[in-house]
């Protein structure tokens, strides 16, 4: 994929799955009428993608294992949706398979920023 002079070698279908999972989670755990922002920017030799929500946030003690299979936070979906605890584990596997990294910053009651990086070149 080449955009604005940057070259990323990715599996488009897999990266779409990552974005669908992260954006879907942002919607699932945010309140109606709240804003979700997607930012993409270059930092050093990487492209960083952030999915920023104004949702419930995740308690700090629950963040560490969040990308492990079947690990779920105590936070509940805002409209009663279900969660199987696999989406973030899949995101991590795909991004690490592209030599990238994935992470999250969050504050309870303030929302979360899920992000991933992909190497340029």
What secondary structure does DSSP assign to 42-98, as a single string? EETTEEEEEEEE-S----HHHHTTTTSTT---SPPPTT-----S-HHHHHHHHHHHT
Distance CA 63, CA 20 (A): 20
Q: How far is CA 4 from CA 7, 41, 50, in A?
A: 9, 11, 18
Whole-prediction pTM:
0.84
Task: Parse the chain into domains and list their residue ranges.
Answer: 2-119
Better-predicted residue by pLDDT, 82 or 102: 102
Tokens of 116: 């991933």
Q: Which CATH architecture has domain 2-119?
A: 2-Layer Sandwich (3.30)
pLDDT in tens, 36-95: 999 999 999 999 999 999 988 888 887 788 887 766 655 655 555 656 667 899 999 999
pLDDT in tens, 21-47: 999 889 888 888 889 999 999 999 999
Is residue 114's pLDDT more than 60?
Answer: yes
């Amino acid at each position: 994929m080449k955009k604005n002079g940057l070259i990323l070698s990715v599996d488009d279908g897999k990266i779409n799955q990552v974005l669908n999972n992260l954006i879907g989670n942002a919607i699932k755990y945010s309140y109606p009428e709240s804003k979700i922002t997607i930012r993409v920017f270059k930092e050093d030799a990487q492209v960083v993608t952030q999915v920023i929500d104004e949702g419930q946030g995740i308690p700090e003690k629950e963040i560490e294992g969040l990308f492990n299979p079947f690990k779920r936070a105590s936070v509940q979906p805002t409209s009663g949706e279900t969660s199987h605890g696999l989406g973030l584990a899949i995101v991590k596997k795909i991004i690490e398979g592209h030599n990238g990294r994935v992470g999250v910053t969050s504050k309870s009651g303030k929302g979360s920023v899920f992000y991933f990086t992909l190497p340029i070149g």
